[in-house]
A and B are shown apart, each in its own frame.
Chain A
Amino acid sequence: MTEEQNIQTPIIELNGVTKEYSSKKSFLSKAGTSIIALNNISLAIQKKEIFGLVGQSGSGKTTIGRILVKLEQPTKGIIKLNGKPANSLKGKALENYRSKVQMIFQDPYQSLNPHLSIAETILEPLVVNKIGNAVTRREKVIETLEIVGLSPGQEFYHRYPHQLSGGQRQRVAVARAIILDPEFIVADEPTSMMDATIAIQLFQLLLDIRKKFKMTFLFITHNLAAARFLCDRIAVIHNGVIVETGSAEMVIKDPQHAYTKKLILAQPGFNFKN
């Protein structure tokens, strides 16, 4: 892996990132206690790679996602986008960073504003970043809707989230994430609320987008089977520490760490034992 890194700079890099949450002194609790959510996390994601982050609830996987899109600041450590440190970005530079790093959230029923039409939802990033005019924006939205499989785009343009199914809503979230041509997308359990048939279609969409736009993804999940289907490499995280990293195939076929083995055993399957 080190050789690879010498050849090209990773799109995104975390170096020794630690995140500590401390509860403040308050009326009810006297002493401030702190929780270490992430402990010395280092990872590097290459261009066009889909990198999986696998772990159970509370392992810190979502915190990594939130640090990468700069919704959280790390307590210690460095974030780099294209080799440039991104910890203390402000103003224009931060806006620029956020347009390059996008996020797809877990629950499409909560991540879309019910008052905004599909068009308004997807347009918003273009308006915020002052890209194009009314005509070109409309074209861009329709084009993006068709890319994510909501075609014909005109038909979905004026609809509202309540008129769409869960799978279609998540496609709207994907459209919103890709409309600014970002370099890197964090997908935080995008299919955990979906049926198998709908989930696999969304995975296929992410793979298509990666191919078409050379997009890079961080895919956060607790489902190892999904991670293997989608990811090139995966990292297993437990209690804020990355315990194992490797190619998706190898980690699942030949797990080294006890926790990875436990995770694999817990995956439901079709070998009827009892």
Chain B
Amino acid sequence: MALLSVENLSVGYKSKNGLINAVNNISFSIEQGRSLGFVGESGCGKTTLGMTLMGLLPENASILKGDIFFNDHNLARFNDEQWRRFRGKETAMIFQAAMNALNPVIRVDEQIAEVIEIHNPLMSKTEIYTQVKKMFDLVEIPENRLRDFPHQYSGGMKQRAIIAMALACMPRLIIADEPTTALDVIVQDQILKEIKKIQKALNTSIIFISHDIAVVADVCKDICVMYGGHIVEKGTREEVFKSPRHPYTKALLGSYLSLDSEENIKVPEMRDSPDLITTTGVCMFANNCNCKSQDCKNKTPGWVNLSSTHQALCFEEVLNKDKND
């Protein structure tokens, strides 16, 4: 049985112009010890998804429909108290802005001890600090830096401390939302190695959210591509990145600069993001797609199976037409 399975989840934000469908009818599941990556551009709903899985949606947002099964619990029906006991213990989050995620006036080791203390009220002080030391060891922060304040850390060390905090209670699922975006390539490389090493050592599941497709490809074996609140393509990383089929995935890969993809760079045209308030029941990518199929603007696209693990939310004739592009 999957550790986490999300079924037909929709999340909306109330705004004065109407309901914004930030996450629209998405389903996926993740097994213990696997890593699943979500890629997509700003506004595609990937952060909203992460926040939903952590029960951290803001006031004006709500789950419109769908279920989130984690073991035997349905997280979509959790109340605040249930979330408080669950969050940090069963699932933990590595946040985007490491610079701002630590409290500047509390020593780093105390911030991590706090997480353990809250979820394990019976643990003694010594036991807690043994656990803190173990965590720092795991993320390779030397012991003599434990009592430092966050400002004494470099960016990479802060991100390591955040990872240590997420791991503190040995959660079974970690959600990492753009954990390396503010870091330079060398530090990013170290942090990604760290995440992979820890995942292996603890057999944790990871949901990794990023707009940087190469970073996601580095960490995750399974990939979901998001656009306009929908998952538009999913599969293993080899399937999605080596033989992408959805027109959006192709556009995304075609514009990504990496050291081994210089020849086929295509500069996409300037385009507007889809309107998440009014657009329903048609392909979100229709206005920006080169497929010129009439179906996209009138009909709802469905899942097309491309292999046992590879699927795309599109129309069969579109997928077949530019198969060889």
Known: A196-B213, A198-B41. A165 touches B259 (CB 8 A): no
B217 touches A268 (CB 8 A): yes
B260 touches A196 (CB 8 A): no
Q: How far apart sit A274 and B218, CA to CA, in the bound complex (Å)?
A: 9
Chain A min CB distance to B187 (Å): 7
B255 touches A225 (CB 8 A): no
Asked if A270 CB lies within 8 Å of chain B CBs, one says: yes
Q: How far apart sit A176 and B258, CA to CA, in the bound complex (Å)?
A: 30
Asked if A21 CB lies within 8 Å of chain B CBs, one says: no
A268 touches B212 (CB 8 A): yes
Q: How far apart sit A253 and B198, CA to CA, in the bound complex (Å)?
A: 33
User: What does the 1/0 interface line of B268-308 toward A look like (CB < 8 Å)?
Assistant: 10100100000000000000000000000000000000000
Asked if A91 CB lies within 8 Å of chain B CBs, one says: no
Q: How far apart sit A223 and B181, CA to CA, in the bound complex (Å)?
A: 12
Q: How far apart sit A201 and B271, CA to CA, in the bound complex (Å)?
A: 11
A196 touches B211 (CB 8 A): yes
User: What does the 1/0 interface line of B204-231 toward A look like (CB < 8 Å)?
Assistant: 0000000111110110000000000000
Asked if B251 CB lies within 8 Å of chain A CBs, one says: yes
Closest A residue to B288 using CB positions: A197
B184 touches A222 (CB 8 A): yes
The contact size tier of chain B is 35 or more
Interface secondary structure of A, over-half rule = helix
Q: How far apart sit A149 and B242, CA to CA, in the bound complex (Å)?
A: 32
Closest A residue to B256 using CB positions: A196
B270 touches A201 (CB 8 A): yes
A269 touches B41 (CB 8 A): no
Residue in B188, B196, B237, B267 whose beta carbon sits within 8 Å of that of A268 in the complex = B188
Asked if A69 CB lies within 8 Å of chain B CBs, one says: no
User: How many pairs of A and B residues are in contact by the CB < 8 Å rule?
Assistant: 103
A56 touches B186 (CB 8 A): yes
Q: CB-CB < 8 A to B41: which residues of A?
A: 195-198
Asked if B1 CB lies within 8 Å of chain A CBs, one says: no
Known: A196-B213, A196-B252, A197-B268. A56 touches B257 (CB 8 A): no
User: What does the 1/0 interface line of B186-202 toward A look like (CB < 8 Å)?
Assistant: 11110010001000000
Chain A min CB distance to B92 (Å): 23
A165 touches B273 (CB 8 A): yes
Q: How far apart sit A267 and B267, CA to CA, in the bound complex (Å)?
A: 21
Known: A197-B252, A201-B268. A270 touches B185 (CB 8 A): no
Q: How far apart sit A236 and B192, CA to CA, in the bound complex (Å)?
A: 23
B185 touches A196 (CB 8 A): no
Residue in A57, A166, A264, A266 whose beta carbon sits within 8 Å of that of B155 in the complex = A57
A266 touches B251 (CB 8 A): no
Q: CB-CB < 8 A to A167: which residues of B?
A: 270
Q: CB-CB < 8 A to A56: which residues of B?
A: 184-187
B259 touches A266 (CB 8 A): no
A267 touches B258 (CB 8 A): yes
A267 touches B237 (CB 8 A): no
Residue in B186, B196, B214, B273 whose beta carbon sits within 8 Å of that of A269 in the complex = B214
Name the residue among B186, B238, B251 with the largest chain A CB count within 10 angstroms. B186
Known: A166-B42, A222-B185, A228-B259. A196 touches B155 (CB 8 A): no
Known: A196-B213, A222-B184, A229-B265. A269 touches B238 (CB 8 A): no
Having A195-B42, A200-B267, one finds 4 other A-B pairs with CB under 8 Å, namely A165-B273, A195-B211, A201-B270, A268-B185
Residue pairs across A and B with Cβ atoms less than 8 A apart, 12 shown, are A195-B42, A196-B213, A196-B256, A197-B251, A199-B257, A200-B255, A252-B259, A266-B189, A268-B212, A268-B214, A269-B217, A270-B214
